Structure 1
Amino acid sequence: MLPAATKPILEHVFDALIDAGVTDITVVVGYRRTRVQSEFGPSYRDVPLTYVTQDKQLGSGHALLAAEPATEGSTLVVNGDQLIDSRIIEDVIAAHDREPATATLGLVRRANVTRYGGVLLEDGAVTEIVENPRDDRGYQLNAGVYAFEPSIFEAIRRSEPRDGEQSLVDGIATLLEVGEEVRGVVSEGTWIDATYPWDLLRIADDLLEDGEERRIADSASVHEDATVLEPVVIDDDCVVGPGAVVGPNVSLGENVTIGSNATVERSVLDADTRVDNGATIRDCVTGRGVGIGPNSTVAGGPSDVEIGDRVHRETILGAVLADHVRDIGGVTYEPGTVVGHGAVCHGGSTVSGTIVADAEVWS
């Protein structure tokens, strides 16, 4: 549900499926499932949506097992947190129809696959699938688009859980071990990952520069004394005040308000965010309902960002402000700041590092 430009990533995934000819979609939901269900309801673009619940997040294989009762025959499976276009889906469907196999994997070419899943091919047949490969063999990147026959479910159940989780990749490896036919198709379609917060900025850059361009909704109100620099997207019911500067590379979701003399550059602001008068926002991602007070500053630029037990060096990220974060005004966010859901930053404070949900930050 994180924003890619002005739409949730999942909405882009649904669009790709429907554009590829899919006419029925089952969605595995779990954490904060009500947000997904309330956003999309029982159908999307006249295609019915069936929701099944993964009660505990015990891995990608476990998620697919949760959907087993809703499937029949051949099944197309895609990740819901990666941007793909319909070409990858079409290529997987066509390859699976052309050369029947127990599994057909959608692959893309990447010089470096160490952060992802690598797949080795020989004449179209998958010989090995490796998570986070470190050797220099000729891997293709696993794009997370699959066509499966029903035996995948038993393969997942037979796979040994790792750290208490059932992995879809381990299920595919089990198919290979028992001699089932697993094939791969290398696609020229677009694939963009959204593993880290700064990926949302890169995704928005790509979407804007690939054709979203300048688009201001008819219901948006942009003051005649405001400056809008392409490429931008300004969604329904947004308000941009006098003297404000918006852009380039800015995506404003529904009902975002930019106050007078505020500046917003290379940022993705989700629905109902408010940037108050005189604030400066750069390289920033917000969730829904965020309030940035008057004269607050997200300076942007490179920083070292700690995610879990890994430090990402020289990452371009001003700040990530989760849903319903608010500041009172005059707050400075150091580059690389991540602020958890519902936190409050009091006037004049300087915020850095990772702030837990519902915290209060004082100067």
Structure 2
Amino acid sequence: MDITTGIVLAAGEGTRLRPLTFNRPKTMLPAAGRPILEHVLDVLVDCGIERLCLVVGYQRERVQEHFGPSYRDVPITYVHQTKQLGSGHALQQAAPETDGPVLVLNGDRVIDERIVADVLEGFDGTPAMAVLDHPTPTRYGAVEVDDGTLSTLVEKPDSDAFGRINAGVYAFDESVFDAIERTPRRNGELHLPDVIGTLMDDGEVRAVSTDGLWVDATYPWDLLYLTRELLANGRVQFPERSDNVWVADSARVHPEATLQGPVVVGPDAEIAASAVVGPDVAVGRNATVGGNVTLQNTLLDSDCRVGPGSTLVDCVAGQSVSIGPGTVVPGGPSDVRVGDRVFENQGLGAVLADRASVGGGATFMPGTLVGADATVGTGAHVSGWIRNGAEVVR
């Protein structure tokens, strides 16, 4: 049974990625120089999907303005989830836009084309879900499979003993919307794994065993891992200047700058003399890297400015961040507080959210999170969580 419509669930904020998601949804965060959602749509288009339906919500204008009415000549329909009441509720909003079987997946995970292709190939009208081996199912939801059929689905397992996860790629016919109507809500929310449970009670849910690239960015430091994986797999749209070094045609790299792959340099970016960029670095559109700058395992989003003589290691900088000369982000490991949890030994130097401004000579302790529009003064020593719009003077 052929599927030509892909529904992408892209309405959530991604609160655990704050402060980066205060101004845009998780799906629009950068991954190797492009928004995460672009990578997702590429896979769908490459697999032959002929119509895209994006369920949007939080900061939906950021998605709609970026993609417009189509992507790579495939038409896009936008559906607004006015309140983010769970992934099952998000899918329910797309019901009026469907006519026939659909492929459903999350818009905030970068996955291999093979995973989608396997689900499309394995769908025969019976609900189907991709499953794959993973070392830490406690983060994603565990499954057990019996002779190709889903036998157990645990949304939040308390151990990693299961070994297999729900990959978040599904194929359904129209009966899924009836199952959604019959699925009880939990605390006012309707979750897609609960809908899968309803379908299991109704009959069979096929488990499509697959493998390939599958990366979820749950926390800020995951964006660095995601970029490393994309670079390692060559998932870059710009020309390859040399081995594992991709540079957009409009970028300007000084002859005396050094690019140590894997590295990607986006359109209109500029790398000055004696800068050493890489390995595992993504320089975004229209970003500027000054002379004698060192970047390692670092992600610069569009319109960033890094002043001369700065060193950034294990760093994520959002859009329009300005970093003064001689700034030092020494890199992890670090203990990072996200909400009421502390994550130990994470490889994170610092996160600088959109439009943060850093004066020259500032130094960051590993694990620092700087909010949007915050200002760090010249020579300041920064640590911990700096709230949006705050000013650090020393």
Q: By the TM > 0.5 criterion, same fold? A: yes
Please give the alpha-carbon distance, in whole angstroms, between the structure 2 residues aligned to 1:310 and 1:263. 32
Please give the alpha-carbon distance, in whole angstroms, between the structure 2 residues aligned to 1:72 and 1:276. 53
Q: Any idea what SS the aligned residue of 2:366 has?
A: coil
Name the residue aligned to 1:279: 310
Name the residue aligned to 1:73: 100
1:182 paired with 2:209, answer: no
Superposition deviation, residue 135 in structure 1: 4.9
1:161 paired with 2:185, answer: yes
Q: 2:169 aligns with which of 102, 124, 145?
A: 145
Q: How many residue pairs are counted as aligned between the two chains?
A: 359
Name the residue aligned to 1:13: 40
Please give the alpha-carbon distance, in whole angstroms, between the structure 1 residues aligned to 2:46 and 2:65. 23
Name the residue aligned to 2:53: 26
Which one is further off, 9-18 or 284-293? 284-293
Q: Any idea what SS the aligned residue of 1:108 has?
A: strand
| Alpha carbons of structure 1 residues 135 and 319: separation in structure 2 relative to 1, 3 Å | closer
Q: Any idea what SS the aligned residue of 2:197 has?
A: helix
Q: Any idea what SS the aligned residue of 1:206 has?
A: helix
Superposition deviation, residue 163 in structure 1: 2.9
- 8 Å Cα contact 2:350/2:368 also seen in 1: yes
Residue type at the aligned position of 2:137 = V
Q: Any idea what SS the aligned residue of 1:114 has?
A: helix
Task: Provide structure 2 residue ranges, at least 5 long, that are not aligned to the other structure.
Answer: 1-27, 237-243
Name the residue aligned to 1:301: 332
Task: Provide structure 1 residue ranges, at least 5 long, that are not aligned to the other structure.
Answer: none
Please give the alpha-carbon distance, in whole angstroms, between the structure 2 residues aligned to 1:329 and 1:277. 9
- 8 Å Cα contact 1:108/1:191 also seen in 2: no
Superposition deviation, residue 68 in structure 1: 1.4
Q: Any idea what SS the aligned residue of 2:94 has?
A: helix
Please give the alpha-carbon distance, in whole angstroms, between the structure 2 residues aligned to 1:328 and 1:216. 29
Please give the alpha-carbon distance, in whole angstroms, between the structure 2 residues aligned to 1:90 and 1:342. 42
1:113 paired with 2:140, answer: no
Name the residue aligned to 1:53: 80
| Alpha carbons of structure 1 residues 5 and 310: separation in structure 2 relative to 1, 3 Å | same
Name the residue aligned to 2:368: 337
CA deviation map 1:98-149 (0-9, x unaligned) = xx31x20011111331111111111111112111212566452111100012
Name the residue aligned to 1:362: 393
1:196 paired with 2:219, answer: yes
- 8 Å Cα contact 2:137/2:160 also seen in 1: no
Please give the alpha-carbon distance, in whole angstroms, between the structure 1 residues aligned to 2:187 and 2:312. 40
**Displacement over 6 Å in runs of 4+:** none
CA deviation map 1:80-109 (0-9, x unaligned) = 011111111111111113xx31x2001111
Q: Any idea what SS the aligned residue of 2:119 has?
A: helix
- 8 Å Cα contact 1:13/1:83 also seen in 2: yes
Superposition deviation, residue 205 in structure 1: 1.2
Please give the alpha-carbon distance, in whole angstroms, between the structure 2 residues aligned to 1:59 and 1:136. 24
Name the residue aligned to 2:196: 172
Name the residue aligned to 1:292: 323
- 8 Å Cα contact 1:264/1:281 also seen in 2: yes
Please give the alpha-carbon distance, in whole angstroms, between the structure 2 residues aligned to 1:166 and 1:51. 20
Please give the alpha-carbon distance, in whole angstroms, between the structure 2 residues aligned to 1:295 and 1:43. 43
| Alpha carbons of structure 1 residues 245 and 111: separation in structure 2 relative to 1, 3 Å | closer
CA deviation map 1:139-195 (0-9, x unaligned) = 521111000122222322332222332111111112222x23211101022211111
Superposition deviation, residue 224 in structure 1: 2.1
1:225 paired with 2:248, answer: no
- 8 Å Cα contact 1:156/1:167 also seen in 2: no
Please give the alpha-carbon distance, in whole angstroms, between the structure 1 residues aligned to 2:77 and 2:134. 34
TM-score (norm: length of structure 2): 0.88
Q: 1:208 aligns with which of 208, 228, 231?
A: 231
Q: 1:44 aligns with which of 50, 71, 75?
A: 71
Name the residue aligned to 2:239: none
Please give the alpha-carbon distance, in whole angstroms, between the structure 2 residues aligned to 1:283 and 1:73. 46
Superposition deviation, residue 199 in structure 1: 1.2
- Give the aligned CA root-mean-square deviation in angstroms: 1.5
TM-score (norm: length of structure 1): 0.95
Please give the alpha-carbon distance, in whole angstroms, between the structure 2 residues aligned to 1:361 and 1:72. 55
Please give the alpha-carbon distance, in whole angstroms, between the structure 2 residues aligned to 1:161 and 1:321. 37
Residue type at the aligned position of 2:74 = V
Percentage identity across paired residues of the two chains: 51
- 8 Å Cα contact 2:36/2:109 also seen in 1: yes
CA deviation map 1:184-220 (0-9, x unaligned) = 1010222111111111111111222223510122211
- 8 Å Cα contact 2:365/2:381 also seen in 1: yes
CA deviation map 1:267-310 (0-9, x unaligned) = 11111111011111111111111111111111112001111222
